[in-house]
Amino acid sequence: MVEDILRLALESLGSGSYERIRGLLMSRLGAEPSSVLLNDPSEFIRALKDSLGGEADSCLTAIATVLRARGVDMDKDKLEGILMRGDREEVRRIFLGGLSGQDIYGRILMDQLDIIGRRRVRAAILSSILIGIAIFLFTYLMTIILQYYIPPDLRATSLFIGAVISVAVAIENYLITMPKLPSGARIKVKVVDQEALKGSILSGYLKAGETKLDLLKFSRELGVTPNEVMKEIDRLRREGKLSIEF
């Protein structure tokens, strides 16, 4: 359990970070870091700071993030204080209690999906507003151009009808483009540019066209965490190399 937490946290700092940091800590501690963390927390954090210097703060922040995903009220400063005090009972409580390893993956995974979903909702709202404004401006412009052919008492009516149509079209566009909130750990990925995936950890696994992914299973095949898979998928999506459907 503790090793899973450390792996998930440290791998979020970059591919291979867990093995690199684990190797440095083992060289200094002479034992498995997860074991030292439980049995001698103050020695663990001293070794972490001595081995990594300023990078230790990033490690503590990442570990605190995973602990929060397990339902523990934790931040970097609070975690550092507990470890510095050498409070073994508190360390065992926060690292051995809470959610199971797979639930941790699921919670962080859903957080990533939620971030992507909220971005797409904002994009849908913005595009709908712009479409509505464009339609109303077109109606207003046509009313001005044709004002000599439209009776004065009908001009206001024309603008009102244009406003109603603008709102209706904007709402329709929003309902069509609004993404569904994710209901599980499965997403559909459509590769837009196969060649552009070269250099990505996903290049050998995603083919041109649509692919349905079970993210937990897919991450195991890649040998990385689901969180890292989602970050890479989101990066490629933002670069226009693939699209995502929930």
Residues 43-73: pLDDT tens digits? 999 999 998 888 889 899 988 888 887 778 8
Residue bearing the bigger pLDDT, 5 or 26: 26
Residues 19 and 87 in one domain: yes
Range of the domain at 220: 186-245
Residues 122 and 157 in one domain: yes
Residues 137 and 206 in one domain: no
pTM of the model: 0.43
Query: What pLDDT digit, counting tens, does each position of 165-195 carry?
Result: 888 887 877 766 655 444 445 667 778 777 7
Residues 139 and 109 in one domain: yes
Task: Provide the 10 A C-beta neighbour count for residue 71.
Answer: 13
Residues 161 and 215 in one domain: no
Residues 164 and 84 in one domain: no
Q: How far apart are CA 172 and CA 97, in angstroms?
A: 47
Residue 100: the pLDDT is 45
User: Helix, strand or coil for residue 206?
Assistant: coil
Residues 67 and 140 in one domain: no
Task: Provide the 10 A C-beta neighbour count for residue 38.
Answer: 17
Q: Find the CATH number of the domain harbouring 83.
A: 1.10.1200
- Domains in the chain, number: 3
With a CB cutoff of 8 Å and minimum separation 6, the contacts of 39 are 88
Among the listed residues 127, 114, 139, 210, the one whose alpha carbon sits nearest the alpha carbon of residue 175: 127
